[in-house]
């Protein structure tokens, strides 16, 4: 932690030192500064803020899956059958229920443009997709939890695995989880609508 802070702060101190040394040309006679001390300090503060902002942004990028936006708590409604809300249960099973339960509330967070993660608010589990096309809840976020979010022409959203292309999150007409490798993006079983209220 200390080494990380030093690596973030050191370039800023070098920048400050360089500014002080180069502020007066070599061989020039010492004169009264033309600019006021307030202007110099304002300029230094501005340079320091820019450096710290860039350093913090680089630091965030060192995480394998940095979160770009704060998580949004919502429901995911699938229009298949009588309509089901996706839920992640504490045992890791994923399915749908017509009337939302406490396990239906999900946190959606953006990883990068078009890629999101989904976490159950009550279960605390992340939604992941296996290579076999099955969705399940896990405690640790991994590459299998990266989902491509695509807005379809009918204004519903599909979620497919980033690690396993062609595998979609899908529910059956009875609200059971469907194998994601046996469905396509144009089927109603893969169409979800984010909702803030039941």
**Which CATH number is 163's domain given?**
2.80.10.50
Q: How does the average pLDDT of the chain come out, rounded? A: 79
Contacts of 50-59 spanning 24+ positions with Cβ under 8 A: 51/11, 51/12, 51/15, 52/8, 52/12, 55/8, 55/9, 55/11, 55/12, 56/8, 59/4, 59/8
Domain for residue 61, yes or no? no
Looking at the predicted structure, is the pLDDT value of residue 14 above 60? no
- What are the distances in angstroms from CA 148 to CA 27, 110, 114, 162? 61, 10, 6, 6
With a threshold of 0.85, does the pTM exceed it?
no
The answer to whether residue 183 is domain-embedded is: yes
Q: Is the pLDDT of residue 160 over 90?
A: yes
Look at 33-42, 88-97, 166-175 and tell me which has the smallest mean pLDDT: 33-42
Q: Is residue 66 part of a domain?
A: no
CA atoms in the 13 A half-sphere facing the CB of 150:
16
Asked if the structure places residue 20 within a domain, the reply is no
In a domain, 50, yes or no: no
Q: Is residue 114 one of the residues assigned to a domain?
A: yes
CB contact set of 108 (below 8 Å; sequence gap of 6+): 71, 72, 74, 116, 117, 118, 194
Identify the CA nearest to 194 among candidates 110, 135, 89.
110
Q: 3 lies in a domain?
A: no
Domain housing 89: 73-195
The reported pLDDT for the residue numbered 196 is 82
- Residue 23 placed within a domain: no
The yes-or-no verdict on residue 86 having pLDDT over 50 is: yes
Domain total in the chain: 1
Please write the tens of the pLDDT for every residue from 32-63.
444 455 555 555 555 555 555 554 444 444 34
Cα distance between residue 54 and residue 50, in whole Å? 6
């Amino acid at each position: 932690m200390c080494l990380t802070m030093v690596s973030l702060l050191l370039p800023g101190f070098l920048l400050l030192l360089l500014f002080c040394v180069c502020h007066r040309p070599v061989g020039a006679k010492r004169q009264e500064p033309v600019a006021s001390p307030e202007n110099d300090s304002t300029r230094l503060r501005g340079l320091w803020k820019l450096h710290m902002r860039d350093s913090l942004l680089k630091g965030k990028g060192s995480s394998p899956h940095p979160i770009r936006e704060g998580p949004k708590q919502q429901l995911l409604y699938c229009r298949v059958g009588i309509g089901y809300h996706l839920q992640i249960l504490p045992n890791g099973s994923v399915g749908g229920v017509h009337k939302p339960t406490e396990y239906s509330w999900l946190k959606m967070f953006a990883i990068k443009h078009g890629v999101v993660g989904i976490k159950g608010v009550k279960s605390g589990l992340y939604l992941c997709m296996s290579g076999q096309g099955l969705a399940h809840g896990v405690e640790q976020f991994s590459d299998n939890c990266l989902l491509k979010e695509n807005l379809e022409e009918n204004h519903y959203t599909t979620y497919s695995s980033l690690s396993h292309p062609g595998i979609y999150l899908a529910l059956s007409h009875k609200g059971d989880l469907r194998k994601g490798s046996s469905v396509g993006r144009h089927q109603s079983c893969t169409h979800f609508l984010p909702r803030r209220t039941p």
